[in-house]
């Protein structure tokens, strides 16, 4: 790796990852270069975590994400402790998230937390003595999914600039597409094509928020969009999202990717999907070399390896015996105590977490834990 | 190990194990020799899987089998990811077995799958990029149990030929005794003594199927059988199997192994049992040196070690960085799409798995997944 | 470490730990010195368990204790198998605790068992071929919690002699305070101050049992006690313990540790707590350097590391390939078959365990499994 990349990686030591935008464009670039180096030279990294422990604290089952993290740590030579399910766990019995995080950070070197409460990983990170990775907090953030998406594009396209990205399916509620849109908006000359029925269109607020930084068109027709795309990001159109079941029945097949639609696409288009897939991509598309959603899961594992190495500040061939201390989290300098209105926010679900909000540009307050804007 | 044994072991690289008869007599012999070498030289194998990961996907809890696999991998220096219970897992939420297997095979180097659906491990193996071991699929197959039984006999008797094997208890429904019978039928001059009440006799179809290859007698009396036996394979007589509860009460003690019955046996007879034992072997038999069922569990672990080493194609002292790719599964060349009549078959429980059956010698079709014969 | 300490540690090889008093004062001292050496020289111990496996058999969830054991083994270079929850486990289906322990001891090198049945770990230890550690058996014993408490005091105070120990909260039902009291009663010139409401006073029997070996006073006032204490051991006053809810409401705040009460204490007083903490220590006390309950959790992990090393009889830099065989458990020489009256005792919950009791000094019988005295 180049020297400036290595220095950028080193500067991530002790950081936590709460949302995809915690890292600058340069930091992400360095992380993906580290990921490339791990892919290309697995031996160099196979023992880098020999004396390190990852704790996977999953208060909500998410087998794919958990196994991706655990594999990542194992392939770095590290070990894993944790729990997979709140019911198999007694940690939550009357104990605050902060106390649990503080105890576990006494055992482990790094924590990946999945929680059904929004902002819970941030509350954990504030109490933990070691870096914390948000492995999904309710409907709020799932930053390592976005890193997996970006790593796949970076690895296979070489760059993020000048791409046309189609996003298809449920663009209204899909957390992954919102994060990916924001993340990709930071690169040059990226064009977006939003492919969705009226019921599931990309929210106007989000488009407004990104403003000039994105160039986009929208369509209801996959067929129309296909020929332009460099990347097609598929998500599922779920029946539950429709009030009108007949409307769902009429529309559902339009957003299923099949061989016929693939025939309209460029030869080097990438099909991505966060998985699990239900029926939104037909099984016979899997054999198409452009179907890269299973590779995407593998790149997700590699970017988690890169993330662990970076947050722990490790260097190949050099074992450190000191624990990597967590750096302070970025809290807005003008943040103050303002009650959050989101009932799923950790401030409303954990007696030790005090409400804390930052001023927004348009004069409101936004929760520092779950980002809900109080209006 | 001898050179030809090593070559036979090497030829197993990339294979999957779906049923005990996937391996030829020579292949099994080589596997057991490898097992012996692991027992005798643990150091040689203690780091052979240093950079390898086993995924244990247990859709049905089976603590003993799971811990045996996990211990096997740990004692080879490898690491383990997975889940122990479907409820703690989210993998099955609308996702096909094939998609799960394909994703997990991107993380792990080898998969052991336990599933309540018959044929599910085969569906997984077809989609996986790495070798898959069936760790039990409903009432269908449990090949590593049979390997454990055979490894124990091989290790302690030195050979399978010329043995008299008593099988006692529930011979009608017992999957383990049926598999062991078939497996032992491939060796020379093996005599079987079936010891069971009328209600639980060895099925005539199975005896007919094996035909000339087996030499057998049957009896209702353990006492009568004991003096002849080199191996006594115990199973439990369960009350649920009897329509007539009085009959059960009258018979049950006849099939309990106790010190008095042991007194009738040869000095070098082996008592085996697949465990767990409930009351079919009295606790005070445990101290008899011929009671080898706990050792059998240990040999089960060793044969799983041998299996992992063989399927991954590993050689002591040499780390390979490439993943071992799964070889194609053996599908009958005349197999075609014929619906399976077994409601527990994976073809009837997973929308991505297409029915597939092979012609049988007597003009029927047998499911390629669960082996049900459609008549 | 000094030579005589090392020899005392070596003599623990093959022992099991059922209750805190299984170890003599000298043995504990040696164990804590080993713990100190592990803390000070982690590299020396980082691979000592390279080819060893810990089985964590948790029939009752206890995430903190389980993760402490698993981390301990990981930090020694060893591996872990096990289960976290009886529901995810099938081991108990009709199988005796002894059979399970015997099978698992064929896989693992050492077992940590948590069970809701009192005396279950002892029944397991009797059948196991490897050392067993009681990780908590119902309301009976939790010896590694007591070791954690002692290790913390030993590490931070340097000695147990001449200390004044305050015990606050629920002294009537608190298993941890009873064990700690007994354990500390073996040292010189230790003074106890029992701080509790009348409803939750230290039981007179226990005080009588310890007799001359302890010097104690009691008070209802934390404020009164604070200035004298070298150690304050906090426990929670639970509402369920009070018949009279008004009485609970009136009292509860008196036994909550806050900054005001801390202001009354010595500058080097230690606050300990077995965790989880609910509300009995206010969150803002955490930042006080005397608040050592999170460090206590870390010392708990270190003493478990020392315990594993000692019971396995390991020496840094030297890998042993033989399994450490369990030594016989101490059974009273005059023990005989006397039925236990405790319905939660393993003798009343496992058909393979025979009742066994020892004579007490005052002419009764005490169960060898759960220590219930039959009167």
- Collect all residues of chain C within an 8 Å Cβ-Cβ radius of residue B74: 53, 79, 81
- Per-domain residue ranges of chain C: 3-143+298-312, 144-296, 331-375
| Position A90 confidence tier, pLDDT thresholds 50, 70, 90 | low
Domain C331-375 has CATH 3.10.450.30: no
**CB proximity list for C179: less than 8 A, separation 6 or greater:** C19, C20, C141, C142, C143, C145, C146
Nearest residue of B to residue C103, measured between CA atoms: B294
Region A159-186: what's the mean pLDDT? Answer: 95
**Section B132-161 average pLDDT:** 96
Determine contact, residues B57/B66, Cβ cutoff 8 Å: no
Query: Does the pLDDT of residue B239 top 90, yes or no?
Result: no
The vertex-A357 CA angle with A307 and A96, nearest 5°, equals 65
Question: Which chain C positions have a beta carbon within 8 Å of A82's beta carbon?
Answer: 67
Annotate C173-206 with DSSP letters as a single string. Answer: T-HHHHHHHHHHTTSTT-EEEEE--GGGPPPHHH
Instruction: Confirm or reject contact between B22 and chain C (CB < 8 A).
Output: no
Interval B174-192 mean pLDDT:
95
Nearest C-alpha in A relative to C301 = A107
Return the CATH class of domain B144-297. alpha beta
For B298, which residue in chain C has the nearest alpha carbon?
A: C106
Over range A217-233, report the average pLDDT.
Answer: 97
Measure in Å the smallest separation between the Cα of A321 and chain C Cα atoms.
8
Neighbours of A351 (CB within 10 A): 11
Mean pLDDT of A98-116: 97
How far from C26 is each of A207, B365, C23, C301, C331, CA to CA, in Å? 71, 74, 8, 21, 21
B3-142+298-312 shares its CATH topology with B144-297: yes
Question: In the predicted model, is pLDDT for residue B243 greater than 90?
Answer: no
Q: What is the mean pLDDT of residues A327-343?
A: 95
d(CA A269, CA A290): 6
Mean pLDDT of A85-96: 70
Specify the DSSP element, H or E, that contains B30: helix B25-40
Rounded CA-CA distance B254/B196 in Å is 9
Work out the average pLDDT over A97-117: 97
Please report all neighbours of A, defined by 3+ CB atom pairs within 8 A: B, C
Q: Is A3-142+300-312 in CATH node 3.40.47.10?
A: no
ipTM: 0.95
pLDDT digits (tens, 9 = 90+) for C189-229: 999 999 999 989 999 999 999 998 899 999 999 999 999 99
Q: Of how many residues is chain A composed?
A: 375
Q: How far is it, in rounded angstroms, from Cα C375 to Cα C366?
A: 9
Query: How many C-beta atoms lie closer than 10 Å to residue A198's C-beta?
Result: 9
Mean pLDDT of A203-222: 94
Residues 294-323 in B contacting C (C-alpha not used; CB under 8 Å): 294-295, 297-298, 301
Class of B3-142+298-312 in CATH: alpha beta
End-to-end alpha carbon distance in chain C: 47
What string of DSSP letters covers C37-69?
A: HHHH-HHHHTTTTTT-EEEEEESS--HHHHHHH
Q: Are the beta carbons of A107 and C276 separated by less than 8 Å?
A: no
- pLDDT of B241: 79
pLDDT value at residue A243: 82
pLDDT of C249 reads: 85
d(CA B195, CA B217): 9
pLDDT digits (tens, 9 = 90+) for B326-339: 999 989 999 999 99
Which pLDDT score, from 0 to 100, does residue B1 have?
79
Q: A361 to each of A23, A209, B334, how far by Cα in Å?
A: 21, 11, 70
Q: Which of A42, A85, A298 sits opposite B88 (nearest CB)?
A: A85
First to last CA, chain B: 47
> Among 3.40.640.10, 3.40.30.10, 3.40.50.1370, 1.10.10.10, what is the CATH number of C144-296?
3.40.50.1370
At A355 the pLDDT is 97
How confident is the model at residue A92, as a pLDDT?
61
Tokens at B365, concatenated = 């079709």
A188/B contact by beta carbon, under 8 A: no
pTM over 0.90: yes
Which residue of A54, A74, A303 is the best one to mutate when testing the B interface, meaning the one whose CB has the most B CBs within 10 A? Answer: A74
pLDDT in tens, A45-65: 999 999 999 999 999 889 999
Give the strand pairing for C191-195 and C215-219: parallel
Q: Is C39 on the interface with A (CB under 8 A)?
A: no
Range list of β-strands (E), B13-152: 53-58, 79-83, 110-115, 132-137
Inter-chain residue contact A84 with B83, CB threshold 8 Å: yes
Q: Which residues contact C210 (CB under 8 A, 6 or more apart)?
A: C181, C182, C185
Q: How far apart are the CA of C104 and the nearest CA of chain B, in angstroms?
A: 8
Q: C-alpha distances in angstroms, B320 versus B7, B49, B52?
A: 18, 9, 9
- Encoded tokens for A20: 């995809």
Name residues of chain C where pLDDT drops below 50: none
State residue A251's pLDDT score: 82
For residue A281, give both structure tokens: 């991509």
For residues A95 and A97, give the distance between their C-alpha atoms in angstroms, rounded to a whole number. 7
- The pLDDT value recorded for residue A319 is 87
Q: Where are the beta strands (DSSP E) in chain C?
A: 53-58, 79-83, 110-115, 132-137, 164-168, 191-195, 215-219, 231-234, 270-272, 357-359, 365-367, 373-374
What pLDDT, on the 0 to 100 scale, is given for residue A88?
53
* C-alpha–C-alpha distance, residues B340 and B356, integer Å: 8
> What fold characterizes domain A332-375?
SH3 type barrels. (2.30.30)
Q: Distance between CA B229 and CA B236 in Å, rounded?
A: 19
Q: What is the pLDDT of residues B172-181, one digit of tens each?
A: 998 999 999 9
User: Between vectors from CA A105 to CA A100 and to CA A110, what angle results, nearest 5°?
Assistant: 120
Q: What is the share, in percent, of chain A residues with pLDDT greater than 70?
A: 98
Output phi, psi for B373, to 5 deg.
Answer: -95, 125
Looking at the domain covering C3-143+298-312, what would its CATH class be? alpha beta
Give how far C43 is from chain A: nearest CA, Å. Answer: 8
Which candidate, B219, B215, B214, B179, places its Cα nearest to that of B198?
B219
- Cis peptide preceding B4, ω within 30 of 0: no
Which residues 55-74 of C have a C-beta within 8 angstroms of B?
55
Q: What is the pLDDT of residues A252-284, one digit of tens each?
A: 888 999 999 999 999 999 999 999 998 899 999
- Other CB atoms within a 10 A radius of the CB of residue A26 amount to 12
Residue B164 pLDDT level (bands cut at 50, 70, 90): very high
Q: Reduce the DSSP state of residue C25 to 3 states and report it.
A: helix
List all residues 6 or more positions away from C356 whose beta carbon is below 8 Å from its beta carbon.
C331, C335, C336, C337, C338, C347, C367, C368, C369
3-state secondary structure of A229: coil
Q: Residue B197 pLDDT > 90, yes or no?
A: yes
Contacts of B49 in chain C (CB under 8 A): none
């Amino acid at each position: 790796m180049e020297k400036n990349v290595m220095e950028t990686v080193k500067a991530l030591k002790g950081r936590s990852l709460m949302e995809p935008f915690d890292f600058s464009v340069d930091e992400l670039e360095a992380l993906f270069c580290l990921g490339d180096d791990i892919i290309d030279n697995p031996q160099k990294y196979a023992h880098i975590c020999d004396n390190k422990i990852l704790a996977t604290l999953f208060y909500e089952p998410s087998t794919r994400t958990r196994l991706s993290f655990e594999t990542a740590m194992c392939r770095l030579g590290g070990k894993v402790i944790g729990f997979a399910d709140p019911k198999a766990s007694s940690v939550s019995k009357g104990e605050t998230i902060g106390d649990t995080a503080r105890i576990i950070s006494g055992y482990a070197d790094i924590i990946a937390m999945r929680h059904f409460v929004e902002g819970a990983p941030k509350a954990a990170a504030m109490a933990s003595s070691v870096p914390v990775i948000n492995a999904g907090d309710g409907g709020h953030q799932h930053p390592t999914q976005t890193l997996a998406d970006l790593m796949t594009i970076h690895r296979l396209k070489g760059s993020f600039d000048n791409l046309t990205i189609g996003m298809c399916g449920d663009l209204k509620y899909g957390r992954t597409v919102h994060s990916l849109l924001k993340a990709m908006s930071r690169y040059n000359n990226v064009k977006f094509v939003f492919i969705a029925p009226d019921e599931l269109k990309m929210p106007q607020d989000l488009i407004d928020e990104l403003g000039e930084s994105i160039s986009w068109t929208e369509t209801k027709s996959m067929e129309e969009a296909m020929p332009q795309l460099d990347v097609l990001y598929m998500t599922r159109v779920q029946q539950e999202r429709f009030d009108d079941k007949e409307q769902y029945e009429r529309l559902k097949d339009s957003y299923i990717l099949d061989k016929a639609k693939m025939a309209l696409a460029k030869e080097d288009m990438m099909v991505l999907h966060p998985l699990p897939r239900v029926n939104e991509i037909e099984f016979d598309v899997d054999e198409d070399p452009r179907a890269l959603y299973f590779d995407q899961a593998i790149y997700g594992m590699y970017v988690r390896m890169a993330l662990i190495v970076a947050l722990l500040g490790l260097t190949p061939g050099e074992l450190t015996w000191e624990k990597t201390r967590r750096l302070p989290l970025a809290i807005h300098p003008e943040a103050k105590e303002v009650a959050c209105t989101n009932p799923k926010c950790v401030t409303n679900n954990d007696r030790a977490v005090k409400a804390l909000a930052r001023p927004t540009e348009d004069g409101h307050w936004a929760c520092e834990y779950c980002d809900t804007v109080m209006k």
